[in-house]
Structure 1
């Protein structure tokens, strides 16, 4: 799981804690969808309830992706913003994957992120929620039977991505999982993550991977039927070729410019919300079971967040914004030439891998803006001591 594990954990922040109310016990046996129904049914939802709904909407989107991948026997699925390897329950007889299923899954994810943002936007700006969650409680109903089963605990599914597979497996089995107290600043973090997921989903839909995936899967079924010997492809090269064919077929299509522009808007929104998060975080004076801490706090996750992270990450965000607005350009590998990401998102074209590497396709987006340097990125990597992947997932 590459993109969502930390978001999935942090999205549980919205568990109302007013009057010492804690939904963790209920979430240990109640499904995400059932809990959402209960919260939506409240006649006068308060700020904490809106926060809870937002987080569970995010988790519901993650859960539906797990369900799709399990139902169709997919260990990895690139046509989703929630990508990467999947562990957990699998059905004995996977269903065929169709183009319609893929498109509907992506559309559902967009709708869920919109609902999550609507819930967050319903929280009064002056509200100061304090929400507590035990990460051992929630679970994903992967097999869709409405009951918690083996391998469906959220911590077991996303823990390896959070701390590393071997670290997770070697931990004491009776070790307590983190309990986090989320606060007002974290709602901006969650909103930023919904923007990231929405932008990524819009970008996937812009190139519509469904037809290419369906075509490759159909050809693979025919090839398998003609050569059923499972030992013929011991090293999985055929599966690798299938994925490359899916990507190539997807990117060669004429993209929907409306969606690429929407992706840019969401990504810029992610940057804006992320800055609101860091500004709010800087004003905190407590140190109580923190998620992402400021320099005076400690994270309850057991992950070290180095001092000055807000400054180095803020510089990376500045670079990202410059690329998305066209004030800086992407360096081209063969010459000191800049490529305009903003222009590409405004008027996108089919992507020819060879053409972009050689240059004839890339030069259509040549820019006079100064190419961006890797100075801020290298500074960020130094501060986090090479843990760039983990920190990017955490900070979005």
Structure 2
């Protein structure tokens, strides 16, 4: 293909130049063809892109159509109820509500409600006006002295660094306005989380915001930050649905001096969170760590977040609760559907248990060990 392009392209170029010189007009045509020819000549010998090496000019059409394929899918193929993670009709409703435009639609639902996966709410025929106070759930067991009234729906974990400062400010102001809490993500508490909304401080394996110079948990730094009035709960992140068993990565290009100061790391360095915690290595250690954080926070609710993998490990945690008489105040179950976390596709697609069977298993196991009434269960992961 390369030899044909060089030979016949050169013939076409020479013929075009001769004709243009003879008729003394339309010089832009051979100039354009010359540019295309020399571009193709370069592609014929480069070794970076196999497609452009084999198809020096036509190969660009492949990249062009690949570039616009998401738009073609969205505007010409995708239906109102298609699309991941949110279909077009849900996105449209969010846009309309954000602009204070009517979100009502005619002609009823477009969903296949006779499908066995249809989910709906059982309503009452004696409807009443909603009360002034929104429904809440009291989080905090007998070992917790600063119980927290949590909203039914809250903002899940997204760190500063993965989201911008403006995004975090908007989310926290929304939490204040709506009366729900804002999970910080494992990146620590930034100034942009402190816009008046309640916080659930998430602590990951990197202990960002409460670590010493060696990357281990620092009780002194933790005690200083957990005393912030905005911090209402503490969540120990064991694993995440998007990447269970895989530590997070903060690229050096994103590790600005501001982010480094918040996370207590060196700026400009790529920071890799370990896959597991250094403060504990078994169920008993996890529960003792929970009690340590509860004591350091002077009785604030402490729980842990995980994506269910080996079910025997969770059963062991439940068994140790009864042995040590230490109970978390809540457990956040993250489904393998994942959320904001970036991860290798092998982890996103093939590791962990989905949310629905996870919730069923967690609820049943807690009940079997007679500890279900001592804690609350939170669901996460593309609910």
TM-score under structure 1 normalisation?
A: 0.21
User: Comparing both chains, which one has the higher relative contact order based on Cα–Cα distances under 8 Å and sequence gaps of 6 or more?
Assistant: 1
Higher gyration radius (CA): 2
Q: Which has the higher strand share?
A: 2
